Structure 1
Amino acid sequence: MRDANTVFHLAIPARDLDEAFDFYVKKLGCKLARRYHDRITLDFFGDQVVCHLSDQFDEEPQMYPRHFGITFSEKSQFDNLYKLAKQREVTFFRDLSTRFEGLIEEHLTYFLQDPSNNLLEFKYYYDPRMMY
């Protein structure tokens, strides 16, 4: 079972590390942990995302089957990131919407698109039992 000292790790392709840095650090507010000639390591909302320099990335991204992101337990955090992304003119793949309306798993969601076409989904469930 995961505890507070355990961090999830995800590696993703990045066509340009300066673009990745601008998107994740300057626009989303993630913390840069390390930078090497071929990758940057980020504190992505408490977990680790590593952007590896690569020429292999989706030319035409689709939400399914591959995306990643954060499910917020606090609506204010979800709302604050949405406002920040709008203010900083981050590319939205899909703007704010409601999924499964009227069902127990109803939630708010939006998708961002990074410069290497990685898709990031951010969610907030009204019922916290539905987070998993």
Structure 2
Amino acid sequence: MRETNKVFHLAIPCKDLDETVDFYEKLGCKLARRYDDRVTFDFFGDQVVCHLSPDNIDEKPKMYPRHFGITFLDKEEYEEALEYAQKEELPFFHKPMVRFEGRQEEHMTFFLIDPANNLLEFKYYHDSSMAY
């Protein structure tokens, strides 16, 4: 289980700092720092750093195996995030769906794609014991 005195850190490539800031702020993330070569965000309580690296963009991203995101433990928060993404017209890589229907690990999920083709998954497990 997560301890509150720790922050997960993820570094990913971006192709343009301005469009990256625009996307993540529309997602609700707080810009923490900005430098000439990277931006750092409070990503739902964790740290995501987008490094300017236009030559390292995945031109044909796939959902698996490479993505990151949030697993909500509260269904209402998941639904609010989905509604917010739709309201802000954020780009969906995959529309909302249910995975593993009828199994213990059944969950609701959707994927967004950021301006550098990084994939973000947002999900909610009906059985919270499956979150880890």
- Under TM normalisation by the shorter chain, which class is it? over 0.9
Query: Counterpart in 2 of 1:72?
Result: 72
* C-alpha RMSD over aligned residues: 0.9
Query: Counterpart in 1 of 2:47?
Result: 48
SS in 2 for 1:84: helix
Q: Look up the equivalent residue of 1:63 and give its one-letter code.
A: M
2:69 pairs with 1:31: no
Query: Counterpart in 2 of 1:57?
Result: 57
In structure 1, distance between residues paired with 2:127 and 2:108: 11
Q: Look up the equivalent residue of 1:39 and give its one-letter code.
A: R
Identity percentage of aligned residues: 64
2:121 pairs with 1:121: yes
Uncovered stretches (5+) of structure 2, i.e. residues with no partner: none
Normalising by structure 2, report the TM-score.
0.97
In structure 2, distance between residues paired with 1:99 and 1:73: 16
Structure 1 segments (4+ residues) deviating >2 Å = none
In structure 1, distance between residues paired with 2:4 and 2:111: 27
In structure 2, distance between residues paired with 1:3 and 1:125: 20
- Residue 123 of structure 1 and its aligned partner are, at CA, apart by 0.5
Query: Counterpart in 1 of 2:90?
Result: 90
Distance change (3 Å), C-alpha of 1:82 and 1:48: same
Normalising by structure 1, report the TM-score.
0.97
In structure 2, distance between residues paired with 1:37 and 1:89: 28
- Residue 127 of structure 1 and its aligned partner are, at CA, apart by 0.3
In structure 2, distance between residues paired with 1:66 and 1:130: 20
Q: Deviations over 1:12-65 (max 9, x none)?
A: 00000101100001x101011110010000000000000000021101111111
In structure 1, distance between residues paired with 2:79 and 2:27: 13
Uncovered stretches (5+) of structure 1, i.e. residues with no partner: none
In structure 2, distance between residues paired with 1:120 and 1:44: 11
Q: Look up the equivalent residue of 1:38 and give its one-letter code.
A: D
